[in-house]
A = this chain, B = another copy of it.
Amino acid sequence: MDDKILLEKIGDRIKDLRSHKNISQQNLAAKCNFEKSNMSRIEAGRTNCTISTLNKIARNLEELFKF
């Protein structure tokens, strides 16, 4: 799969999971210790993110899904 498509899919998936928990980009970003603008960039697939960035997001999403 093309990088661009993959990054967009990842972004969409994050957006889906986040939306299902009714949390704003702002809030999720805060939990991850970065700004909402960065979260927007990631969800839009406009950055080729690193494992560590995805890991931060994954951990915080997971946390939300525990409750």
Q: Which residues of A contact B (CB under 8 A)?
A: 1, 3, 6-7, 10, 48-52, 54-55, 59
Contacts and interface: CB of A to CB of B under 8 A. Distances in A.
State the majority secondary structure of interface residues on A.
helix
Most chain B CB neighbours (cut-off 10 Å) among A1, A6, A7, A51: A51
- 10 A-B pairs with the lowest CB-CB distances in the bound complex, closest first: A3-B52, A48-B50, A48-B52, A50-B50, A6-B55, A3-B55, A48-B51, A49-B51, A7-B51, A6-B51
A7 B52 CA distance: 8
Given A48-B50, A50-B48, A55 B10 contact: no
17 contacts: A1-B55, A1-B59, A3-B51, A3-B52, A3-B55, A6-B51, A6-B55, A7-B51, A7-B52, A10-B51, A48-B51, A48-B52, A49-B50, A49-B51, A50-B50, A50-B51, A51-B54
